[in-house]
Each structure stands twice: as structure tokens, then as C-alpha cells.
Structure 1
Amino acid sequence: MTRPTGPDASTAPEPTPARAAEPASPGRRRSAPPGGSAIREATSVGAHSLRRRLLWFVLVAILLATVLQAVTAYRGALKQADAMFDDHLQQMARSLRGGVPLGLPQVDEDDTGFDLYVQIWGQDGTQIFRSTHSALPPRAVLGFSDVEANGNRYRVYSLQTPVQTVQIAQNLSARTARARTLALRAVLPFALLTPLLMLAVWWIINRSLAPIERARRELARRAADDFSPLADSGLPDEVRPLVDELNLLFGRVRSAFDAQKNFVADAAHELRSPLTALKLQAQALRRTETDPAAHEAGVARLNQGLDRTIRLVEQLLLLAREEAGTGQTASAAESVDLQAVVKLAVADVLPQAGHKNIDLGLAAKQPMAEAITVSGQGEALRILLRNLLDNAVKYTPAGGQVDVSLQRQDGQAVLTVEDSGPGIADADRPRVFDRFFRAAESLEAGSGLGLAIVKVIADRHGATLALARSESLGGLRVDVRFPVAAAV
């Protein structure tokens, strides 16, 4: 057996109780402050509103895409109209190559509804025919050209035959107006469909966000002590992880809330008798002022009572804190070296063991070349082992022995505490981890909370507890087995 040579026993910092909300009356609903609903509504559509940002980005994207496509369609329609009008001029010129049809009417230039003009010239430059009183230039460039005459610009197509030259002209202003009319007709569907598309997008976004709004209303209607999980049916996949984390938070808050209620109930139940006894001892102490010996004995008894009460309060606070931390997630865990935890816990209890002349130490059943680490919280595991050692030292007679061992078995980290005390009867073993349970034959004073704290911490770390009779020392043997997933 090896004995620790580490520092003196250290005292753990006083645990603080988990804070929880003030319990509300059953069935009582939380009343919203005046204007609260309006504030929530204003917030939901404020600058940070997801609905508003989605609508803004999507609708702006639709508008930009529509404008870009409309401009492209408009310019394409203009080009197509120009090509169509040019083709019309060519066809008309070719139809007049054989001469002017009989009965072709003379069209006055004041007839603004007619934008095509015809001139035919002979080889000698004689004008054979014209459709207006204002003649076009007689020697136009063959093919297409833009000319200015009579204060107007014209698109002219000239075609020369062996006997004549045919000129077909179109007023560019009228041509442009007609081309724009055709282009606007091509753009008109975009102007009609864009508002419908924007309305459809608005409806789809509102419908997609409706489950989130339902969840918000459900939370707003809840009572202060309602920590039931929030339903995630119908929620988008992007929001469901948030609701899952929120439900985990509800579980942790519920654990803290229950721990606070248990602490209040336990304190009211367990402190009544010690405080009554302290009051009686204080009254008796006043009556012994004239007897120094009796007075000194009364002071000693009062101090012992105060120590027991302080220890009880510490245990109650510690139990409340550990129960409140039961719902903590794995993110709060760390890699803990169990060998270091064992050395610290043994150092904590060593003065108490020395007072009873108990042989307390670390018994290495198997030499460990490497550290045994588990995933958890180092301070909580130290409290677990310290309570086991404190319990073993308390019930082991003076001059007895308490051993601690740490080993790896079947991929599990196994922490064992054995003592040479009287052990625990088989009938009492299922109940020793209950709060305030003390065996009937126990002669030692205690609160009955030490092993309850051990159970809470073990459950929190996914560890199992096993009680048996120690084969080597004859007393109680407690095995704490950490699961394979937790052992590193």
C-alpha cells in the first residue's frame, strides 16, 4: 500500500445554491406588461426581422432581374422591329421593279398616318413617280441609307434596275414610334407578371415562417414554471436545432428549479430539529453561568451542534448545486485525470483519518504507466470521491483501514473505495443513496446526504455505482465505473 505525500488537506470552496425563478401558482399564467404585445409585434417587423429581410432581398432581386430582362427584351424587340421594317422596305422596292401599278394613288405629305414614301427615277434622271410633293434626293446610295430631307430624317432603300431607280423611304420618327410600340408589347408581360410573382413570394415567405410565429406565441402564453419541451413540428430544418437547444435549456432550468424547491423543502424539514436543539442548548447554557464546568460543557455541546448544523447546510447546498447541474450539456465537460482527483480527495480527508488513527491511502492494484482520464468535471468528481472517503472514515473504527484504488477493466475506468468498518446490511443497500437515509443501527451522527450527493454526481457523469463486501478489509466496497464512452 502506498501513502500520499502531497499537501495538507484542503477545504473545498463553499458551494452556492442554484438560482431558480420564484415558483408560480399552479395553472397561473404570466401576465404581459401593458403594451407588451405591441412591442413584440413591433420587434417582429423591425430592422432585425427575418421576414422583412427575406422579403426585401427577394423582392429587390426579382425587381432587378425583371428590369434587366425587360431592358434586354425591349432592346431585342427594337432590333427585330428595325429588321422587320427594313425587310418591308426591300419587299416593297422589289415589287415596284417592273413599274408603277396603274391606279396607285397620290398620297399627300400632310397625311401623317402614312409613313412610307415612293420615288422612281429614270436613267436620265427624270422623276417618273413620287408619292409626295416633297422629293427625296434623286441620287441616293444604293441599298439602305439614312437621309435628311424637308426637315425630317428618313430610312431609304434604293434599288436600281436597267431602266429605273426605285426609292422606298420611311419616316424615322414614325418608324421609331412603331418600333417602340412593338417593343413595349414585348415588355408588357413582365410588367403584369412581376407584381403577381412578388405577391406569391410574400405569401410563400409568410407561410414558411408561420411555424416560427406559432412557436413564439406558444412561448408567450406559457406560465413562469412551465418548462415542457417546445414542439418542433413544422419548423424549418434551419430553425429546428435552435428549438432543440432551447428545449435542452428548458431541461436545465427545470433541474435548477426543482433543485431549489427540493433545497427549500429539505432545509425546512431537516433544520427544524437542529435549530430547536440549539435553542434549547442556548437556554440551558444561560442557566449554567454560575457553574463554570457545566457552562464549559454546554458551550462544547453548543459548538458541536453548530458544527453539525453547518455541515448539514453545506451538504444541502452541495446537493442542490449538483442536482441543478444534472442537465448540463457535454460542452461543459473536460478531460479529467482520475489519478490527480484521487490524490486531492485523499489529501482532503487525511486529517480526519489521522484524528481516528485510520490507515488511509492509495492502493495501486495494477501499476498504471499512463494516466486514466475521463470526460467530466474535475471538481464534481473530487466531491464524489471525498464523500465516499468521508463516509468510509466516519464508519470505520479507530485504528482501521481505508483503501482507494484506480484501475482499468474492460475498457472502463474503475474507482474503488474499501474500508474495514461494519459495512452495510444487504437490506439497506438499495436505499443508501436516498436522501436523508440512515441505517437504523448506525451510531454515527450524519445528515444522510453524503451518498445521495455521490449518486447525483455519478449519474451526471454516466457512471454506475456498485456496493459489495470488501474481501480484503471486510467492510464496505464501493465501485464507481465510468462507461467506455467516457474513458479515454
Structure 2
Amino acid sequence: MTAANRQGDLAPPNSARTEMSLRRRLLLFLLLPLIPLSAMLIMLIYWAIRSATTESYDRVLEGSALAIADRVVLESSTLVVDLPYAALQMLTNSAEDRVFYSVQIYPSGEVITGYRDLPAPDFTTGNDGEDRIVQYIDFRGERMRMVAIRDEALSYAAKQTFVVLVAETMGQRQVVLERYLRRAVLAFVIGVFLVSALTLYAVNLGLRPLRNLAQAVRLRGERDLRAIRRPVPPEGQPLVDEINALFARLEKALNSHRRFVSNTAHQLRTPLAELKTQLEVARLEGTPPDLSGLSGRVDGLAHLVDQMVLLSRIGEQPSGVDTFGDVDLRVLAEQAVAEWSLRAIEAGIDLGLQVEAKAPSRVHGHQSLLLEALGNLIDNVIKHAAGATTATIQVHKDRLIVTDDGPGFRPKGSNESSVQRFGLSIVHEIMDLHKGRVTQNLGLRAEVALIFDGEDDLGSKGTAP
């Protein structure tokens, strides 16, 4: 992934778009489904209460009709109804509703007693031969619930079929339905509020480790880049790991900055002191300063400054088209030989190339930085390998080796030049950026190897946001 793509994933700092908080998002995802679920449950509750109320009142109507049917007798081929007191009491159990009844001869429809205009249902169609029908009717401009029971009155000589009709207005049913529905909805709303409160508490409790983590980071000093060792849920561990990795990268960058400042102070002190001493000697002796020598020292100082600027920029995200990619070590070595051959010849050194790797010598890296590292090693040979006549760049599968026939490196702490020490520091920094390493010997025939370890991870620093 390129640096541009990685940066494209980050929202601009002044963007008008504001992300919804994780707490609000969780509450929204958890509680928003309660709206359609609540509507569906309320409809189910309404249906259940209505069914129970209707069934209860229908049984009362059916009981009244059965009580009336039991008192219908056939006397001398004439139906006689002795309306029982219990049936009359059931029919008048509500002050809000009106009850209508009728006993009729079936199928002629002749009314024996009751309301003559109360319509009887058709028992012959759509009833599967049942003798009881419960249905809604419109009677005298009102919606009613009616029970119709078909029965027979028997005597010794004859029998007669009759129908008992009992209808009731629905005012009391609606009152009871609304009463129980209000109670059920109230209980349901209380339950929803309790669920919402418990959800809010659970979300806050679940996000507490993140708040504790944020507080732990906020209370740290600006130089405290230790890894976070705070217990977090498994879902938050990847975030902690990434923060710790970021702290590690920042600490490495700060250490590199400190080394750069320290190296700058130490490396500039010696050439400036030498330059000042030469000028003081010329002033005390009253002789003109050696302009050629001063020019050489100024050129060396300028080169040292260039090296320090390069070192300060190593590790920054490369820009432009020359970023991390596949680098052919053989082509890289050939390019270095072509650039440094003339200066090597002027210094009396034969710069050669030796390719020892049979397999393709390709690594993942930054072309310009690797060329700079190789150039620094060649420059050290030209300027500081006293008596060297040959220098060779060896190309292997996973490394580049620069050798010369000079006296070799002096032990650590010896008085080698500032530019030489700084040139090797740059090489080390470039190889650190490529997650590689630098090895060098301390004997005769100096040898410096640039070794590339773990090519699969190379370039990750160069493309980090």
C-alpha cells in the first residue's frame, strides 16, 4: 500500500464530517430495533387481549342462549318459551350494553318471543352443519355480537326445530379491551425503559476499559513512551497493541533525533575547532592563511553538513515516485561504480564490481537511500583508506560487501575523522530503515557488509503514516 493510499484513509483535520461516538452507535444499534419490535409486540398484545375478551363475552352470550333454549317446549304442536330468570339476569349484566334476543321457528322464521326484526343466520351455508353460530351483525345502526343456537323441541307426537338468537352491543367489550390494553402497554413501556436503562448501563460498563485506557494515556508525560500494560477486553487488545507499536516507533524516532543532535554537536566541534586553530595560527604568525587548505576544510565541513542533513531526513516518509519497491542489487552496484569510478581513479584506487550471486539478487528497499549508503562506503574508502589501491563491491543474494586493501578500520574510540564516523552512521540508519544490519571487520582489508534480513517486512517504515 502506498503512502498516498494510507494517508487517504485519514479524515482531514478540518473536515466538517463528524463521526458518531461509539457509545451512541451502540445504543442506536441496540435500541433502534426496539421500535418495530415494540409495534409488533403491541399489535400481538392487542390481538391477544381482544381474543380473550371476545371469547369471554361470547361464552356469556352462549350461556344465555343455552339457558333460553332449555326452556323452550313443544305443547300441542306449539312452541312455548318460559324465559328463565337466570337468562334475564345474564342479559342485563351490563349497564352500558343493550341485549336483544329472539326465539324463532326454523326455518320459517316465525318469531315466538323477543325482537321480531333480529335477523337469524343461515345454518345451511358455510356452517359445516354446526348448530351454533357466533358472528358480528349490524342491527339498528350498531355493531353487535350475536350467538345463534339451533335446537329441537320434542313431544310424544311431534318435534319442532327452533333458533335462539342473543345479540349484545359491544360497548362493555371495548371498555374492557381498552382497560387491559392500557395496562399491558403501560407494563410494556416500563419494560422498554428498563431494557433501555440496562442497555445504557451495559454499554457504559463495556466502554469503561476504553475510557480507562484513554485516561491512562492522557495522564502520561510527553516523554513517557513505555508500553501500556493495562488489562483490556480481548476486543480492545488490538488497539492497545497498535498504540504500543506506535509508542515504540515514536521512541525510536526520538532516540534517532537525540543521536542526531548529539552527533551534530560532536561532529561539528572538531572541524570548526581545526578551522579556527588554522586561522589563529595564521593571525599570530602574521602570514596569509592557506586558502587552499581552508577551502579544503570548508569543503569537508560542507560535506559533513550535507551528510548530517541526509541523516536527519532518513526515516521520514519518502515522497515522489522514488519510494520503496524492488531493488536489483546488481544494478544498484553497477550504478554506484559508474558514479564513483572517476573519483576513485583520481585517488589512485581501482574500483571494481564482483557479482557472486547466481540467484537473482533483489530486495525490497529504497533505491536512492541504498545508493547513498553504498556511496558513503565508497567515499570512506577513497578518503580514509590510506594506502589502498583497490576497492571491490561484491554482490550476493541478500547483501552488498565493500572491501579494500587498505589498513582496515581502527578500533572504536580511535581518532578517525568526523566525516568517516558520520558516513558510517548514515549507513547504519539507512539499513535500520530497511530492517537490515551492517557488519564490519577491524583487521586488515576493511570489509563492510550491508545485509538485508527479512525482505518480506522491508519498506513498512517507509510507508507508515
TM bucket by the smaller chain? 0.7 to 0.9
Q: Which of 239, 243, 246 is 1:249 aligned to?
A: 246
Counterpart residue number, 1:119: 101
Matched, 1:334 2:331: no
Displacement of 1:118 in angstroms is: 5.7
Matched, 1:389 2:378: yes
Percent identity between the two aligned chains: 24
Change (3 A) 1:325 1:243: farther
Change (3 A) 1:105 1:69: closer
Counterpart residue number, 1:49: 21
Matched, 1:258 2:255: yes
Amino acid in structure 1 at the alignment position of 2:305: V
Does the aligned pair in 2 maintain the 1:160–1:166 contact within 8 Å? Answer: yes
Counterpart residue number, 1:234: 232
Matched, 1:476 2:446: yes
**2:248 and 2:190 mapped to 1: Cα distance?**
53
Does the aligned pair in 2 maintain the 1:118–1:168 contact within 8 Å? Answer: yes
Q: CA RMSD in A?
A: 3.6
Does the aligned pair in 2 maintain the 1:374–1:487 contact within 8 Å? Answer: no
Q: Which of 126, 130, 150 is 1:160 aligned to?
A: 150
Matches for 1:44-193 after TM superposition, within 5 Å = 48-99=20-71, 100=82, 102-104=84-86, 106=88, 112-113=94-95, 115=97, 117=99, 119-121=101-103, 123=105, 125=110, 127-128=112-113, 135=115, 137-142=117-122, 143-149=133-139, 152-163=142-153, 164-193=162-191
Change (3 A) 1:344 1:91: farther
Change (3 A) 1:161 1:360: same
Change (3 A) 1:106 1:462: closer
**2:454 and 2:25 mapped to 1: Cα distance?**
48
Name the stretch that deviates more: 196-205 or 297-306: 297-306
Does the aligned pair in 2 maintain the 1:116–1:168 contact within 8 Å? Answer: no
Does the aligned pair in 1 maintain the 2:435–2:452 contact within 8 Å? Answer: yes
Counterpart residue number, 2:157: none
**1:466 and 1:287 mapped to 2: Cα distance?**
46
User: TM-score normalized by structure 1?
Assistant: 0.71
Q: Deviations over 1:306-331 (max 9, x none)?
A: 12222333333334444x569xxxxx
Displacement of 1:339 in angstroms is: 1.6
**1:151 and 1:446 mapped to 2: Cα distance?**
111
* Helix, strand or coil at the partner of 2:290: helix
Q: Which of 370, 394, 398 is 1:405 aligned to?
A: 394
Q: Deviations over 1:234-265 (max 9, x none)?
A: 1452x443443333232222222222222223
Does the aligned pair in 1 maintain the 2:67–2:87 contact within 8 Å? Answer: no
**2:118 and 2:260 mapped to 1: Cα distance?**
112
Counterpart residue number, 1:414: 399
**2:278 and 2:300 mapped to 1: Cα distance?**
14
Amino acid in structure 1 at the alignment position of 2:208: A
Change (3 A) 1:103 1:141: same
**2:255 and 2:167 mapped to 1: Cα distance?**
95
Matched, 1:307 2:299: yes
Counterpart residue number, 2:421: 448
Tell me the number of residue pairs that the alignment of Structure 1 and Structure 2 aligns. 405
Rg comparison, structure with higher value: 2
Q: Which structure ranks higher in relative contact order (CA pairs < 8 Å, sequence separation ≥ 6)?
A: 1
Counterpart residue number, 1:23: none
* Helix, strand or coil at the partner of 1:403: strand
Displacement of 1:187 in angstroms is: 4.4
**1:254 and 1:188 mapped to 2: Cα distance?**
60
**1:465 and 1:447 mapped to 2: Cα distance?**
15
Matches for 1:249-288 after TM superposition, within 5 Å = 249-282=246-279
**1:223 and 1:276 mapped to 2: Cα distance?**
38
Q: For structure 1, list consecutive stretches of 5 or more residues without a partner in the other structure.
A: 1-45, 327-331, 432-436
Q: For structure 2, list consecutive stretches of 5 or more residues without a partner in the other structure.
A: 1-17, 72-81, 123-132, 154-161, 318-322, 459-465
Q: Deviations over 1:362-384 (max 9, x none)?
A: 12245x4x641112322332222
**1:351 and 1:455 mapped to 2: Cα distance?**
26
User: TM-score normalized by structure 2?
Assistant: 0.74
Change (3 A) 1:356 1:264: same
**2:112 and 2:96 mapped to 1: Cα distance?**
21
Change (3 A) 1:404 1:149: closer
**1:249 and 1:341 mapped to 2: Cα distance?**
32
